[in-house]
Amino acid sequence: MATAAEQWVLVEMVQALYEAPAYHLILEGILILWIIRLLFSKTYKLQERSDLTIKEKEELIEEWQPEPLVPPISKDHPALNYNIVSGPPSHSIVVNGKECVNFASFNFLGLLDNPRVKAAALASLKKYGVGTCGPRGFYGTFDVHLDLEDRLAKFMKTEEAIIYSYGFATIASAIPAYAKRGDIVFVDRAACFAIQKGLQASRSDIKLFEHNDMADLERLLREQEVEDHKNPRKARVTRRFIIAEGLYMNTGTICPLPELVKLKYKYKARIFLEESLSFGVLGEHGRGVTEHFGINIDDIDLISANMENSLASIGGFCCGRSFVIDHQRLSGQGYCFSASLPPLLAAAAIEALNIMEENPGVFAVLKEKCRHIHSALQGISGLRVVGEALSPAFHLQLEESTGSREQDVKLLQEIVSQCMDRGIALTRARYLEREERCLPPPSIRVVVTVEQTEEELEKAASTIKEVAQAVLL
């Protein structure tokens, strides 16, 4: 009985074999051959080993030269030969023992040496001591920090503000707190280095558009919209950000904010605005580029600025809606892990805000001085002015490059040095050349403050013209 059953099974197998399609038989045959090959082949190949003698090993060790930890740097590199300042870098500055009119420090409103600001800082120093020795979440939150955040939020007319102890870390921490791997960030090519570091930390997909070119930005947004339609599931979880500066540090130009807001709503993106140069400069009350253009501040998802320019203190802040700002208290690296802002600097910033609110006319004065020197510097032989007439920080670039960046830098540095010898303190814009995503051309940066008189502005313009003509022609 068992034998008959076995014969019947064998017959069924043979019959199934005949009825199976040809491709099925070929595939099974290939799989059987592959299994046989795996069973009988070696998983690795033995390589012939050649042992070196002790002498040969010693010779190889002697020949080996390790790569240097850092690239060699010339002793005359500008970063190793810095100017030494004696005293406060206010209206007048003593550099290398020589007194000059300061056209280099970002002391736009002249508050760095203001008696009221210094008195507020001194009173705070006596009450709280020098530093905090702890992050905000670990006994580093002082009542003066909360007062400053409340004042900044009210001044900017937003729901909430958050302060950082280091200006550079503000936007560099804010960006990766929201933008993550897989998100898409559209950013201007002229974005400052702090924004670049924030983008690098976010690990997002970065799309660069030409400087202040809204047509190029819309082209990128449109291309992304097409990609989103191809993969709607991915698009639903992909966030899109547009990052710009109010006044660009590297160009001195203002962003076209009304066009940015239109693109934001058209393509459903979020706008982050870095206003370190425009805060305390633009607008009737110094609230920045939103006030300058009359844009509702609620149209901007996040505003960031440092307190190291107009407020003449240290640190930075972000402001916006409460749920946006509160997220940084959990995810902003510079906020969570750095020691909080020294109370004396927070008190100084509060007093600087008081002065700004009491004297709104100071912003019109600053704007007029900017226009004055901007006009006076036109027509310099060999140099061109780069930046808006209302920007207190703008650049002087060579009209024609020598073809060598190193040589261009030397020429501009010579102009700076000779101007300093004549009592005008300027600075050459400095960049980490190997780190910059889009390296700007070499330039001299000119900074305007409300303390500079009309005579000093005229003297600076005439000095720069004379020196440039002597150096470049």
On whether both 133 and 268 belong to a single domain, the answer is yes
For the stretch 277-307, what's the b/e string if a residue is b when 16 or more beta carbons lie within 10 angstroms of its beta carbon? bbbbbbbeebbbbbbbbebebeebbbbbbbb
On whether both 204 and 233 belong to a single domain, the answer is yes
224-264 tens-digit pLDDT: 999 999 988 888 889 999 999 999 999 999 999 999 999 99
Joined together, the tokens standing for residue 398 give 């060579």
Q: Is residue 31 in some structural domain?
A: no
Which of 298, 329, 358 marks a domain boundary?
358
Provide the residue range defining the domain that includes 100. Answer: 80-109+360-472
Which of 324, 358, 392 marks a domain boundary?
358
Which of 358, 390, 420 marks a domain boundary?
358
Angle (CA) 28-31-36 rounded to 5° is 125
On whether both 160 and 288 belong to a single domain, the answer is yes
- Tell me the C-alpha distance between 425 and 407, whole Å: 22
Total-model pTM: 0.84
337-391 tens-digit pLDDT: 999 999 999 999 999 999 999 999 999 999 999 999 999 999 898 999 999 999 9
Angle (CA) 273-274-279 rounded to 5° is 105
Q: Is the pLDDT of residue 187 over 80?
A: yes
- Tell me the C-alpha distance between 364 and 301, whole Å: 28
On whether both 177 and 287 belong to a single domain, the answer is yes
On whether both 152 and 97 belong to a single domain, the answer is no
On whether both 84 and 175 belong to a single domain, the answer is no
CA distances to 191, 197, 200, 418 from 171, in Å: 12, 9, 12, 36
pLDDT band at 40 (very low <50, low <70, confident <90, very high): confident
Q: Is the pLDDT of residue 287 over 80?
A: yes
How many CB atoms are closer than 10 A to CB 227?
13
* H helix runs in 315-453, sequence order: 322-331, 333-337, 343-358, 362-376, 405-421
Looking at residue 295, which CATH number applies to its domain?
Answer: 3.40.640.10
Q: Helix or strand or coil: residue 318?
A: strand
Looking at residue 376, which CATH number applies to its domain?
Answer: 3.90.1150.10
Q: Is the pLDDT of residue 3 over 90?
A: no
On whether both 308 and 402 belong to a single domain, the answer is no
Joined together, the tokens standing for residue 433 give 């050349």
Q: Is the pLDDT of residue 456 over 60?
A: yes
In the chain, the number of structural domains is 2
80-110 tens-digit pLDDT: 778 889 888 889 999 999 999 999 999 999 9
On whether both 150 and 190 belong to a single domain, the answer is yes
